[in-house]
Chain A
Amino acid sequence: MIPMLRTLLLVISVAAASLTAAGGAHAQSAADIVAGTDRVRNPDQPFRSTVTFTEYVGGKERDHNTLVVFSKLDPATRQFRNLVQYMAPPRDAGKRVLLDGRSLWFFDPASKVSVRISPQQRLIGQAAIGDVLTVNLAVDYTATIVGTEDIEDSTRQPRHCWHLALKAANDQAVYGRIELWVEQGSFDPIKGKFYSDSGRMLKILYYGSFAERLGGTRPTQAIIIDAVDSSLATVASFGDYGFQDIPESWFQRDYLPRLTFQ
């Protein structure tokens, strides 16, 4: 059975690739599209942003969290390094997370200890660490074009999109695979579906509220819907953007207790 499926998938992939090469709509390669939408989400200079999370349970607003995220591209890997500080709620204030390559550390000012954690660990609400930190999907996933589709964005406006299938290319990828819809022309990310290694759909994500930030049009809102329990949703609002010089030493584990900023 499995060899047959493999053969089928291989044939379909090859055939789809042939169609892609022949069709004008697919003039862009899947990798180019993912890299393009990465550029929409992430500036290429070091920057800082504030992410405010609002959790909804059964449609009702419940919890609020605020993080400040510092991100800087590592030219060697083309992946971002991130430093995160929790600002609210009060019980979590001062906690910090560092992502540098394969290393992910969590610092709690109460215990004053940095503990190494895995990307799978939940950060806030329905948001895993990989949802919050600045990540270039093109580095961690290999992509193929599934097709072109007209879907509605979070405000129910039609968008003409590439439908991409992303598969984890290394063990730093948070998800086993991702389905991604990217608007043709603008490369705006519109929608994503995120799956575990076992193939279970974990969450649906809608990007929205595109606005001029840090020299480009970027999404300032992400709506994350729990695919396992659809009564749970988290809305992440990105703001307070600013380019910022971030020294290399900030991405050392021992810097976590030292983080202070204006």
Chain B
Amino acid sequence: MTARHLPASIWVLGLLALAHATPSALADENNDLNLIPGAVGTPAPSEPAPQTSPAGGTPQRIYLENAFTGNLQRHGLAVAFPPPNPRAWQERLFLDARTEWRLGSRLGFTFSDRLNLGAEKGQPVPDDENVFNDFREGYLGWQPVDGAYLDIGRINLKSGVALGNNPTDFFKTRAVVEPLSADPSVLREDRLGTLMVRGQYIWSGGSVTAAFAPKLYQPSALDAERDPPSIDPLFDRTNAQNRLLLKSSIDFAEDLSPEFLVYRQGSETRFGANLTESIGHSLVVYGEWAGGWRHDLIHEALLYGRRTGTIPSSAPDPLPSDQGKAFRNEATIGASYTTESRITFNLEYHYNQAGFSHQDWHNWFAAGAGPSSSLWYIRSYAADQQEPVSRHSIFLRADWTDAFVPDLDLTGFVNIDLYDGSGFAQVTADYHLSDNWTVGGLAAGAFGGKRSDFGSLPTAASLMVHINRYF
């Protein structure tokens, strides 16, 4: 039977049902009221709604965290790891504070710091290295006129729209200290700012930013000790070159606001761009690109090692590399998708033209048969620069709020080298016991063959447990 063969009486009944719902249907509708928790109160209409914090101001974030990390070492490495070995365990207790003080209607001071108490296997206690402070930010901000801002001091200036790797985040180099997690979003939190002057103008159709960071120190070795041990602000990491950044974001059309960047560091200039687009209400796609004339990763690392005295200037190159500069690109293309059950997935492709090619990996493992600590130095340099070692990689991250039970947050990611299929995976679980207490854990591991990117790492797996108290 087709629709047009339905008896007319059926239509009449259907239309009557539409126009005036039956009592039983309305009763069902009112049954939804039984789902309202009995504890829900109705605020008196004459009174304002309750508040749990002041209505104005910029909230601060202060918390105390204790974290214990254990690492499982890998034996029989394809390329021997030079001493000292990665720590077997580490215990850390730290106080983390981010706050802002208003000094007037147009003047403010921003402060961000982490004070650590730490101990690890093989380290005597007490020792002058048990206490160390990470001074992340401290700057004065002034708004001379509406929309215009001038900041001076130690500033964490970040750029980029991707999650797993940000080629346009030019101030990320050498800035990450003592991370507790390999999650890129956490790495951005444990990062030192740079001493700089920053000007910014924001108007209804876009923004423009200029920042200059002066060279105040000579470049230091990757493994340079803090001096003095406890409170060294490590400006040698962030202000060892003159650096200039210009960037602007313009609204060209609705939902089309690309950002363009020009960055100058020493004698090198790089360009960058960021673009995002929303598709429907579940999907966001994004792209990030940076390019400029530079050495490849191997040559750049060896130059830096020789310049800072870690690698003897007379030592031969352990690997063949491109000795000259060329225009090299770095890019991230990705998308995020949120399911109906509110799990957000990010999938990204990372390209680093300066990174290791398939032939470079072959050379690296072949050279590892002989004694050469500078092989691992190249990879340590890449990690210090926050730059992918391999030329092609894939990054997948999942984020699930209220997973299985309320207040349980699960996050997992995997980073895979597309040359050899090796990878690094990490899962974290955080459970919010209350508004002020959170407990959590982290498990991470590298997988792949002995002669692969991640399978050759000295640490095979890590476990971490932590407890946080927020104030």
| Chain A residues at the B interface, C-beta cutoff of 8 Å | 4, 7-8, 11-12, 15-16, 19, 23, 50, 52, 54-57, 59-64, 66, 68, 85-91, 93-94, 101-104, 109-113, 115-122, 125, 146-152, 154-156, 163, 171-174, 191, 196-198, 200, 202, 204, 206, 208-212, 220-221, 223, 225, 230, 232-233, 235, 237-240, 247-249, 251-255, 258-262
B327 on interface, CB distance cutoff 8 Å: no
B15 on interface, CB distance cutoff 8 Å: yes
A-B contact pairs, 12 of them (CB 8 A): A15-B11, A19-B19, A90-B471, A120-B342, A147-B20, A148-B19, A149-B20, A151-B29, A173-B281, A252-B207, A255-B202, A255-B207
User: Are B39 and A56 closer than 8 Å at their CB atoms?
Assistant: yes
Selected from B57, B102, B160, B254, the residue in CB contact (under 8 A) with A101 is B254
CB closest residue in chain B, given A124: B401
User: Are B283 and A254 closer than 8 Å at their CB atoms?
Assistant: no
B37 on interface, CB distance cutoff 8 Å: yes
Separation of A122 and B14 alpha carbons in the complex (Å): 38
Separation of A197 and B280 alpha carbons in the complex (Å): 11
B286 on interface, CB distance cutoff 8 Å: yes
Selected from B3, B20, B45, the residue in CB contact (under 8 A) with A210 is B45
Chain A residues, CB < 8 A from B279: 171
Selected from B40, B147, B344, the residue in CB contact (under 8 A) with A121 is B344
B315 on interface, CB distance cutoff 8 Å: no
Separation of A255 and B11 alpha carbons in the complex (Å): 57
User: Are B35 and A63 closer than 8 Å at their CB atoms?
Assistant: no
| Chain B residues at the A interface, C-beta cutoff of 8 Å | 2-4, 11, 14-15, 18-21, 26, 29-30, 32-33, 35-40, 42-43, 45-46, 48-63, 98, 100, 102, 108, 146-147, 149, 156, 158, 160-161, 163, 185, 188-189, 200, 202-204, 206-207, 209, 249, 254-255, 257, 276, 278-284, 286, 336-340, 342, 344, 401-402, 406-407, 432, 435-436, 438, 468, 470-471
Chain B residues, CB < 8 A from A57: 406
User: Are B32 and A204 closer than 8 Å at their CB atoms?
Assistant: yes
User: Are B281 and A63 closer than 8 Å at their CB atoms?
Assistant: no
Number of A-B contacts (CB under 8 A): 276
Q: Which of B36, B100, B206 has the most CB of A within 10 A?
A: B36
Separation of A147 and B18 alpha carbons in the complex (Å): 6
Given contacts A56-B39, A148-B20, A260-B108, contact A172 B29 (CB under 8 A): no
Separation of A86 and B59 alpha carbons in the complex (Å): 8
Q: Write the nearest CB–CB distance from A34 to chain B, whole angstroms.
A: 18
CB closest residue in chain A, given B407: A63
CB closest residue in chain A, given B58: A260
CB closest residue in chain A, given B251: A252
User: Are B257 and A91 closer than 8 Å at their CB atoms?
Assistant: no
Separation of A155 and B108 alpha carbons in the complex (Å): 47
Separation of A254 and B274 alpha carbons in the complex (Å): 13
User: Are B49 and A220 closer than 8 Å at their CB atoms?
Assistant: yes
Chain B residues, CB < 8 A from A61: 37, 39
User: Are A163 and B21 closer than 8 Å at their CB atoms?
Assistant: yes
CB closest residue in chain B, given A242: B55
User: Are B21 and A147 closer than 8 Å at their CB atoms?
Assistant: yes
User: Are A115 and B163 closer than 8 Å at their CB atoms?
Assistant: yes
Given contacts A91-B470, A118-B336, A260-B58, contact A155 B42 (CB under 8 A): yes
Selected from B35, B255, B406, B435, the residue in CB contact (under 8 A) with A64 is B435
User: Are B202 and A249 closer than 8 Å at their CB atoms?
Assistant: yes
CB closest residue in chain A, given B207: A254
Q: Write the nearest CB–CB distance from B26 to chain A, whole angstroms.
A: 6
Chain B residues, CB < 8 A from A249: 146-147, 202-204
Selected from B38, B51, B281, the residue in CB contact (under 8 A) with A66 is B51
Separation of A196 and B341 alpha carbons in the complex (Å): 10
Q: Write the nearest CB–CB distance from B458 to chain A, whole angstroms.
A: 28
Selected from B35, B60, B255, B282, the residue in CB contact (under 8 A) with A103 is B255
User: Are A91 and B52 closer than 8 Å at their CB atoms?
Assistant: no
User: Are B50 and A19 closer than 8 Å at their CB atoms?
Assistant: no
Separation of A64 and B401 alpha carbons in the complex (Å): 16
Separation of A197 and B56 alpha carbons in the complex (Å): 38
Chain B residues, CB < 8 A from A88: 52-53, 59, 435
Q: Which of A60, A86, A155, A223 has the most CB of B within 10 A?
A: A223
Chain A residues, CB < 8 A from B98: 94, 109-110
Separation of A235 and B36 alpha carbons in the complex (Å): 9
Given contacts A90-B63, A239-B50, contact A15 B26 (CB under 8 A): no
Separation of A262 and B57 alpha carbons in the complex (Å): 5
Separation of A87 and B276 alpha carbons in the complex (Å): 28
CB closest residue in chain A, given B40: A235
Separation of A212 and B209 alpha carbons in the complex (Å): 44
Chain B residues, CB < 8 A from A102: 254-255, 278
User: Are B61 and A109 closer than 8 Å at their CB atoms?
Assistant: yes
Chain A residues, CB < 8 A from B32: 191, 204, 206, 225
Given contacts A91-B432, A260-B58, contact A196 B340 (CB under 8 A): yes
Considering the complex of A and B, which 4 residue pairs feature the smallest CB-CB distances, nearest first? A239-B49, A248-B204, A93-B59, A211-B45
User: Are A119 and B36 closer than 8 Å at their CB atoms?
Assistant: no
Selected from B59, B158, B204, the residue in CB contact (under 8 A) with A87 is B59
User: Are B43 and A220 closer than 8 Å at their CB atoms?
Assistant: yes
Q: Write the nearest CB–CB distance from B110 to chain A, whole angstroms.
A: 9
